[in-house]
Homo-oligomer: A and B are copies of this chain.
């Protein structure tokens, strides 16, 4: 490709709404352009990177037993209704001229299960693992960060069908290896963490998290054993409790006019938030539940829902709070909550002389103690894990990282196949529901994650497997015959050798060409400049800025060696996952 013909409109200034590095650089380099909130054009360079990622996905998934197909983007509501997902609020819904309902596909468990229930009868046809790479739509409330959380995005989704849970475990492990290899070849080394299954469901599941300060997710990682989990999911180790040896004081009610938040009351009473017991009222179906966590902690709603064994919990509204506590929102406390189920984070059991809401407007209580002023129905692990919390797997403690989810794999088991009546005849002659897994990867988000992971002040630094070009040849002076000859020779010989090479022969100053090559992040850069009159070229490596002076005759071989070396580096990282095997 010749740069003079390539459409890559670079920007000097990026729009103010571009906050994270990948968003800024992909805009600046002419890789993407915004169409609407969370909806982007992929310009030629951006789409080229996307297609290289897709090709890696195809190679690895095909190698690991999956087959590609393509399901519709427009999905009839009937399928989502079979599993109760038609009501999810992220669906982009539409009607046809016959007033029938559809959704833009946001994930395809129902569609693929429908294919399999119609066309697969026998255990002999299993295992089956079907994937697609597709543009999805989700009506996100807060699209943000460029390609990281879009409303339209490119995703790989794969769905496996097995005879039983052991087979599923094998398929899951193969997919774990396939995903790990894809990310390794894209230059990423994501942390694999336990996670919450969200709208997909199922029990065991893992996220692939690229660690980045701009990540939306909090990841807890044990500094001792390496166990890692999303904060949404992370179990906190339950250690024997050391109750504070502080002497219990007499409880009293204190005035806290207009102070509703922990911060306000804490500053008014000069008591640390750690002395507070926060009382949160939830509706779990018809039941009102009070959940207690320490004042400086966050309640983990997924943990509470799992503990209560309900699908969904909702915060009680102001009316319900007043009915239960007799006080407006902001003054709820555990004292005198008759007839309400009170579940407390296990940490509460160790607290003495607590501050709580007084269940009366503009008042709190201090020096409140468990089993004296209030009682707890059940203790459980209910809080969001945080730095310093005990590991659930060993005697270590958690550290905290920020992460960006690029993949999520699930052991679904029979939840979809049972709801949809998708069954096969097993070897024993008995009809059984398929045992399913599903495996999702954000392709467009992976592009952004690579930029988050690998850039410098000059621009992007692409790993060679997904670089928009492997090599750029910069012709500095179009009028200089020696430079032209050297550049053209490089360009043609590299093309003949199957290298993905850009020739920058634009009528621009050398500085513009250097800047654009760096911004675009091309890993290997060849400069045909003044040295050409001595039969020499300069090779520059994007990552470490290394410069190599080399004779024109040796340059192609040198470039091929450098290129092979960069591929080998990624390949070795991928192979390490094959050697490791499963999760």
A interface residues (Cβ-Cβ under 8 A, vs B): 5-7, 9, 30, 33, 35-36, 39-44, 46-48, 50-51, 65, 67-76, 89, 92-94, 96-97, 100, 102, 104, 111, 114-115, 118-120, 125, 128, 130, 134-135, 137, 139, 141, 151-152
Partner of A139, one of B39, B47, B50, B97: B97
- Chain B residues with CB under 8 Å of A36's CB are 72, 74, 76, 100, 102
- Chain B residues with CB under 8 Å of A151's CB are 74, 96
- Chain B residues with CB under 8 Å of A72's CB are 35-36, 39-41, 152
Question: A-side binding surface: helix, strand, loop or mixed?
Answer: mixed
B42→A141 contact, CB < 8 A: no
A33→B135 contact, CB < 8 A: no
A554 CB, nearest partner CB in chain B, Å: 31
With CB as the reference atom, state the residue of chain B lying closest to A42: B70
A7→B74 contact, CB < 8 A: no
Partner of A47, one of B50, B70, B137: B70
Known contacts A35-B114, A74-B152, A94-B104; can you find 4 more A-B pairs with CB under 8 A?
A: A5-B67, A6-B67, A74-B151, A97-B141
A563 CB, nearest partner CB in chain B, Å: 22
B39→A74 contact, CB < 8 A: yes
* Max chain B C-beta neighbours (<10 A), residue from A40, A48, A65, A97: A97
Count the copies. Answer: 2
- Chain B residues with CB under 8 Å of A33's CB are 115, 118-119
With CB as the reference atom, state the residue of chain B lying closest to A41: B71
- Chain B residues with CB under 8 Å of A7's CB are 67, 69, 119, 125, 128, 130
B96→A94 contact, CB < 8 A: no
- Chain B residues with CB under 8 Å of A125's CB are 7
- Chain B residues with CB under 8 Å of A120's CB are 9
Partner of A43, one of B46, B48, B69, B76: B69
Which 3 residue pairs across A and B have the least CB separation, nearest first? A9-B119, A94-B94, A42-B70
Q: Contacts A9-B119, A115-B33 known; A70 to B97 CB distance under 8 Å? A: no
* Max chain B C-beta neighbours (<10 A), residue from A9, A46, A70, A135: A70
- Chain B residues with CB under 8 Å of A47's CB are 68-70
- Chain B residues with CB under 8 Å of A130's CB are 7, 44
Partner of A89, one of B50, B51, B97: B97
A69→B41 contact, CB < 8 A: yes
B70→A152 contact, CB < 8 A: no
- Chain B residues with CB under 8 Å of A46's CB are 69
A-B contact pairs, 6 of them (CB 8 A): A5-B65, A35-B71, A35-B75, A35-B114, A42-B70, A74-B151
- Chain B residues with CB under 8 Å of A76's CB are 35-36, 39
* Max chain B C-beta neighbours (<10 A), residue from A74, A75, A97, A135: A74
A55 CB, nearest partner CB in chain B, Å: 11
- Chain B residues with CB under 8 Å of A114's CB are 35
- Chain B residues with CB under 8 Å of A128's CB are 7
Partner of A135, one of B68, B73, B115, B139: B73
- Chain B residues with CB under 8 Å of A94's CB are 92-94, 104
With CB as the reference atom, state the residue of chain B lying closest to A36: B76
B115→A41 contact, CB < 8 A: yes
A104→B152 contact, CB < 8 A: no
A44→B69 contact, CB < 8 A: yes
- Chain B residues with CB under 8 Å of A100's CB are 36
- Chain B residues with CB under 8 Å of A75's CB are 35
Question: Roughly how many angstroms separate A141 CA and B151 CA in the complex, as a whole number?
Answer: 28
Question: Roughly how many angstroms separate A40 CA and B111 CA in the complex, as a whole number?
Answer: 11
B152→A73 contact, CB < 8 A: yes
A447 CB, nearest partner CB in chain B, Å: 12
A41→B111 contact, CB < 8 A: yes
A470 CB, nearest partner CB in chain B, Å: 17
A139→B96 contact, CB < 8 A: yes
B69→A42 contact, CB < 8 A: yes
- Chain B residues with CB under 8 Å of A92's CB are 74, 94, 96
A322 CB, nearest partner CB in chain B, Å: 30
A261 CB, nearest partner CB in chain B, Å: 29
A508 CB, nearest partner CB in chain B, Å: 11
- Chain B residues with CB under 8 Å of A51's CB are 68
Question: Roughly how many angstroms separate A44 CA and B130 CA in the complex, as a whole number?
Answer: 8
Q: Contacts A9-B120, A33-B118, A73-B137 known; A67 to B44 CB distance under 8 Å? A: yes
Question: Roughly how many angstroms separate A104 CA and B104 CA in the complex, as a whole number?
Answer: 9
A436 CB, nearest partner CB in chain B, Å: 15
A454 CB, nearest partner CB in chain B, Å: 23
Question: Roughly how many angstroms separate A70 CA and B152 CA in the complex, as a whole number?
Answer: 12
- Chain B residues with CB under 8 Å of A141's CB are 97
A77 CB, nearest partner CB in chain B, Å: 10
- Chain B residues with CB under 8 Å of A40's CB are 72
B70→A50 contact, CB < 8 A: yes
- Chain B residues with CB under 8 Å of A30's CB are 119
A445 CB, nearest partner CB in chain B, Å: 15
With CB as the reference atom, state the residue of chain B lying closest to A118: B33
Question: Roughly how many angstroms separate A134 CA and B134 CA in the complex, as a whole number?
Answer: 10
- Chain B residues with CB under 8 Å of A139's CB are 96-97
A120 CB, nearest partner CB in chain B, Å: 7
Q: Contacts A33-B115, A89-B97 known; A74 to B44 CB distance under 8 Å? A: no
- Chain B residues with CB under 8 Å of A111's CB are 35, 41
- Chain B residues with CB under 8 Å of A134's CB are 135
Question: Roughly how many angstroms separate A208 CA and B48 CA in the complex, as a whole number?
Answer: 29
